[in-house]
Amino acid sequence: MADANAEASAGLETTRTFEALLAGVLPVAYGVAIRLVRNRADAEDLIQEAALQAFRGFSGFEIGTNFKAWYLRILTNCFYAGHRKKQREPDTIRLDDAPPLYLYDRAIESGLAARSDDPAALILGRIDEEQIAAAIAALPPEFRVVTALYFIDDMSYEEIAAIVDCPIGTVRSRLHRGRRMLQKALWHFAEERGVISALQANAKSAEA
């Protein structure tokens, strides 16, 4: 009986420790998840699936080490596993390598330079967090993951490399390309949601 009570007590303590650690990383985890899977319901499902897997494997976690990185690695693995099950992602934008100043160049072409010395910033100022999350979610998976991790919590290359289990050089390369693709995705969403046309109309009114 004593052994059973001790085992139950140890199990309860383990559960409490896990829940406390998980609670501390949930805001970051949700920010990453919503940028990976496009909507709140799927983000919550992804977090729950990762939490279940993390709890099952919690005996392998060393208390005192980086729980956030450990949990986010499980979360990104869950995302990749779910993505592989899909036949296709119809909402993903075709993002061939965009030039480094894609957003700026398109803003110039659209006649927005007359309104600001930095027309790209003018566009970004009209895009909300939800649209940015949607743009990140439109990136191909390998670029989506590193971009979401970097922008949601300003993680270092070393931290991201540990989470996605790849060399730092690969993280740098993916993030570099991901940023360029993100400019194209942001332009797409700004155009699709009327931000560009509204800015052009304002520019014409100012000239009149």
Residues 14-28: tens digit of each pLDDT: 889 999 999 999 999
Range from 38-47, 141-150, 179-188 carrying the lowest mean pLDDT: 179-188
- From-to residues of CATH 1.10.10.10 in the chain: 102-207
CA distance 26 to 23: 5
Domain 2-85, CATH class in plain words: mainly alpha
Alpha-carbon gap, residue 72 to 159, rounded angstroms: 10
Q: Tell me the mean pLDDT in the region 147-173.
A: 90
pLDDT per residue as tens digits for the range 17-76? 999 999 999 999 999 999 998 788 999 999 999 999 999 999 999 988 999 999 999 999
Report the pLDDT value the prediction gives residue 87, as an integer from 0 to 100.
47
CATH 1.10.10.10 fits 102-207, yes or no: yes
Q: How sure is the predictor about 169, in pLDDT bands with cuts at 50, 70 and 90?
A: very high
Are the CB atoms for 155 and 75 separated by under 8 Å? no
Distance from C-alpha of 118 to C-alpha of 47, rounded to nearest angstrom: 38
Nearest by Cα to 37 from 81, 67, 1: 81
Q: How far is CA 194 from CA 55, 91, 126, 184, in A?
A: 44, 18, 10, 16
Q: How far apart are CA 100 and CA 125, in angstroms?
A: 19
Cite the residue boundaries of each domain of the chain with CATH code 1.10.1740.10: 2-85
Q: Are 182 and 134 in contact (CB under 8 A)?
A: no
Q: What value does the mean pLDDT of the chain take? A: 82
pLDDT surpassing 60 at residue 108: yes
Give 73's Cβ-side CA count (13 Å radius): 15
